[in-house]
Structure 1
Amino acid sequence: MSEMVTVVTGKNTEVKFGQGLPTVIIAERINPTGRKNLAEELRQGKLDIVEADAKRQSDAGAHIIDVNVGAVSVNEIEMLPKAVKKVMEVTDKSICIDSANPKAIKAALDVYPYKALINSVNGKEESMEEILPMVKESGCAVVCLTMDEAGIKNDVESRLNVARKIIRRAEAAGIKREDLVFDCLVMTASTDVSSARITLETMRKVVEEFGVSTTLGASNISFGMPNRELLNIHFLTMAVINGLAAPITDPLIKGLIPALRAADFLAGRDPYGMTYISDYRKK
């Protein structure tokens, strides 16, 4: 299977990612889940933390800034476009528009004049019916979760079948395969020791069969364990070897970016180690 290259854009920026290319970092911090101070600010209509996190993550080396405002008593249809505009004011980075509310995604797409990544569609009929026409109309790229009405299955073949279903529906809607970014879903390793293996094997097979770009949210893998950042870093480097193109992670984690650059070099995704050497010289 030939390898796809996914492209998203921001103000004066273009980000390319996919198999064979260096890892791209989607910065995860603008998300009120587990962050009471951010959730409270969003309820008050304030965007100070959003602005600060956009700057910090951009300065730390993120390529794409994920923007999620989903919290209790927050009007996402109103606040998500405002947050996207605020991020555009302070950084030229591309944006990942992240919401479980299709109307909020549409409202944010309407204020973003570049090619966005949206998060997400899944294999449920309702999700595909709502999100895929939006992807086609806007020309954006989309994160595709390998789950459907049956939930997240704990075996590789079931997740692959969901990926196949999403690809069939997307291509029938006229969406290019390179605009599909598959998330093979990370579950907590402390409650299921096979979790990491299943995720990595699914991702490797998705890449082998379809050649598509991939993403993962790494933080679930370490939930309930000590020294979570260490586990997250090691899991992501393992994932790079298995085809991870663009993790959703925190670029402020100490040692994360050097570890990913080393993984890229060892995986043959950084010819002659040019990016690895360049990052080292910036220290």
Structure 2
Amino acid sequence: MLLIVRCDVPKAAPEKNPTLVVATDRLSEGDSLLLAEFGQKHQLEIVVKEMTADSLMQLYLQDPYGLGIDVVLLHHAYDMRRVQNKKMLEPLKQGKFPEEALLTESKLFITCGIDPFICVTKENVRINIYDDLNNHPFFLNLSHKSKTQFFAPYEERLHRAKTFEKLEQLHTNVVPMKRWMADSSHAFLTTYSDYRMKTPEDSLWNKFTEVQFPNSATSGVFHDVLSAGIIQQSSHFATATKLLEWLTSPEINKRLTANRGYDSIYSNGEYRRFTTPSEALMQYHTMIERMLKEIE
């Protein structure tokens, strides 16, 4: 005789005072208020930790199961690639994200903000395409991480030797930082976020008044991205997913990106974007780094 007895498995009690931990490499003043709204809505505490991608990866290497971080928010595609390559991210299989969030093919991260590579010039100087910078001495106000993302579209579309030629040609016209004076250049190549975050004390910028979006009429403006993902072994995967959905909703996303000087993922007025997804461009970062090392 087979006796089947019902056995009720006790359900885990709801966590008291749950805490969602967000790690970001750049903390803005408005983040606390913005995330506190989400915490209040879902009756949980939000803890934001400011740390570099390097620090995050080091902590994960030391203890992948005890990292204690749920969500990562990074300001360069370069860093999200490195985090992704360390297999630190949990696939976002359950979220309902807008098309504008550009959920990657791997489903490992989403886009939360756009940071166009712009030219800021003196009056009557036109930079219609990035190659026009070859006609002028210019200030290059890009970090190594930004350069890697900026040049990736060249590597996608050109033969490797041609890409190197482009990098070398542009580098020839870069004015060394020690010679940065208003009369030594006609243009800045920079990110929109850096330009928006300039202060009145940055007097050099005052001579450069025209904001231009090169390639807008051709292949589209190159850009970096603010991206977000969920760390593997997150204790609050469902809630972390809701946070990412919330950060990519129209009203909240505009506030999130405004805090950082980025464009919202819903912004489409001033320029046309380069359309290749950031995840697809990441494969070219390593090669661009090698070229930059040789040139610089």
Q: Same fold (TM over 0.5)?
A: no
State the structure with bigger RCO (CA 8 A, min sep 6), 1 or 2.
2
**Over alpha carbons, which structure has the higher Rg?**
2
